Structure 1
Amino acid sequence: MYEEARSAAVPGAVLWRAGGPGGGSGGMVLPDGCMDLLWVDGRLLVAGTDTRPHPAGEVPGGVFAGIRLAPGTAPALLGVPAHVLRDRRVELAELWPAREARRLAGLVGAYGDPRAGLEELAARRAAAAGPPDPVTAEVVARLRAGEAVAAVAAAVGLGERRLHRRSLDAFGYGPRTLGRVLRMRRALALARSGMRYAEVAHAAGYADQAHLAREVRALAGTTLSAYTAGSGSAGAGPSTYEGSVGAPGAASEGANSETPQPSGSRTTA
């Protein structure tokens, strides 16, 4: 079982939960550019951005709740650069004092729905961190629109090397990788809608259908046909169970307007 809803308190974030028989087992979590803060059976964890698919069951647990944070927004809340968490799922106690992490896990668990506790925690951290970096948001928007990295760098007034360094801190990897991930997410969403693959390739900005197939295989570890065949049973979760550790889907434009499933997204393909 997976379900999600947009956060009313944290701009661009998506709240999700997964559970039932097997908890978070089964399926794969696909890259989506997001990071997730998770509550898993009374523990708080963080799922970093991904460069490859991850087994949804790599974090053991029966009940998962999460808040999937829009690309580039999590580092300010967590106090660590995104590249430190790339392709990792770690206990919050590894990033913050263990006593504080346990206290916060207890507070989140005290809510009838742990998602509400995660939302409150994230909102407080966001308020303390101050306004989000407008450059980061513009980079995401331009890459999502398919602009080339050189054009993005020029538009935000940064050299490509400096943009790359800032992207490592904000997204966990460089702008080219983020652009590839966002383009793939859009392609998967289009394919899931029933669009023909050749049309998907053109609409998402790939050179041709073969290029699309190579990118999906490289980033998602599957084929479009296998993905679309399994997406019906996987649900439209976020990108975070992608997002991250649990199971995320396609709810918000900020966190993942083009995320067919959780955080990452989850697919049975």
Structure 2
Amino acid sequence: MSVLAPYVATLVSYDAVGEPGVHVGMPSTRLTLVLPVGEPIDVGWADDAASRRRYQANVSGLHAAPAAIHHGRRQRGVYLELSVAGARALLGVPASGVAGEMVEAAEVDAGLRDLPDRLAEAPRRDWGPLVETTLVAALARHDAPGPRAEVGRALARLTGGAGVADVADEVGFSRRHLRDLVVAETGLTPQQHRRLGRFERSHALVRRRVPLAEVAVRCGYADQSHLTREWRALAGCSPTTWQRRELPSIQDDGASGAAP
């Protein structure tokens, strides 16, 4: 997957069995592409029941609120996380074009229209290679220029927790100009992107059951209460509630996990 490495951060095939319920789709600094095998994916924003619908293949743009993924006993498919550069390269649109939205993948790129059917006809061992081959073809088809190098560097630094003023100085822009460029590329302000990056880092540690006080310190929150408030705002629940609801369900046959 070397040619796709700058654009695809995660590619996981999953086949999970568990109790029916609602899985939380977490905010992050990456877009998601979910390709269900069999049943369409039933998803919407957790705080907006009217947004719920079924997708043959779902693209979710950058967002600062949790998604609610409704599922039955079995979940099968391929889950991908795309970088901001991957939106242009693989979907043919800047990340800002789908920010805060959920859309059918074929509505963004008609070249992905038959991918769910091809996955349904293939054995699981072929799902990953089939998706990779399709995305390499999309890469050649779009031939889209990536974000400006300065914007790419700024996003990487913001994701890592650097302050907005420091990042603006590093890339040689005023804070206002940096804001305009980042919003045009991602649909989020630099501060919002930085906030999601911090939450993303905390999510990885909470998933590993690192003590919450340590998570707060390592991720730059003022204290554990601040961490919990941010989780309630961005994930719709506290870290401990998320662990109780989600971690037991992120299991399958040992080869892959459900989408985080």
Contact 1:9 1:119 in 2 (8 A): no
Specify which of 163, 174, 186 is matched with residue 159 of structure 1: 174
What corresponds to 1:10 in structure 2? 4
Q: For residues 36 and 101 of structure 1, what CA distance do their matches in structure 2 show? A: 14
What corresponds to 2:165 in structure 1? 150
Specify which of 198, 201, 204 is matched with residue 183 of structure 1: 198
Change (3 A) 1:201 1:89: same
What corresponds to 2:22 in structure 1? 26
> Does residue 79 of structure 2 align to residue 83 of structure 1?
no
**Equivalences for residues 199-210 of structure 1 within 5 A:** 199-210=214-225
Q: Deviations over 1:168-222 (max 9, x none)?
A: 3433311211111110121222234343322221211112222212111111111
Contact 1:183 1:204 in 2 (8 A): yes
What corresponds to 1:115 in structure 2? 128
Q: For residues 118 and 16 of structure 1, what CA distance do their matches in structure 2 show? A: 10
Q: Which has the higher contact order (CA 8 A, sep 6+)?
A: 1
Secondary structure of residue in 2 paired with 1:50: coil
Please give the root-mean-square deviation of Cα atoms over the aligned residues, in Å.
3.2
Which sections of structure 1, spanning at least 5 residues, go unmatched?
A: 1-6, 238-245, 249-261, 263-269
Q: Which has the larger radius of gyration?
A: 2
Bigger mean CA deviation after superposition, 144-153 or 133-142: 133-142
What corresponds to 2:58 in structure 1? 45
What corresponds to 1:129 in structure 2? 143
Shift of residue 53 of structure 1?
A: 0.7
Superposition TM-score, scaled by structure 1 size: 0.72
Which sections of structure 2, spanning at least 5 residues, go unmatched?
A: 39-55
Structure 2 counterpart of 1:144, one-letter code: T
Q: For residues 189 and 18 of structure 1, what CA distance do their matches in structure 2 show? A: 19
Secondary structure of residue in 2 paired with 1:228: helix
Change (3 A) 1:88 1:64: farther
Q: Deviations over 1:49-95 (max 9, x none)?
A: 2211111228xx95321322124431342222323322322112322
Bigger mean CA deviation after superposition, 185-194 or 196-205: 185-194
Secondary structure of residue in 2 paired with 1:49: coil
Change (3 A) 1:72 1:210: farther
Shift of residue 101 of structure 1?
A: 4.3
Q: Deviations over 1:84-113 (max 9, x none)?
A: 32232211232245xx44345555556543
Structure 2 counterpart of 1:175, one-letter code: P
Q: Deviations over 1:9-68 (max 9, x none)?
A: 41152112334557995321110121123323474432222211111228xx95321322
The number of residues matched between the two structures is 232
Give aligned-pair identity as a percent: 30
Superposition TM-score, scaled by structure 2 size: 0.74
Secondary structure of residue in 1 paired with 2:70: helix
Secondary structure of residue in 2 paired with 1:124: helix
Contact 1:82 1:168 in 2 (8 A): no
Change (3 A) 1:40 1:227: closer
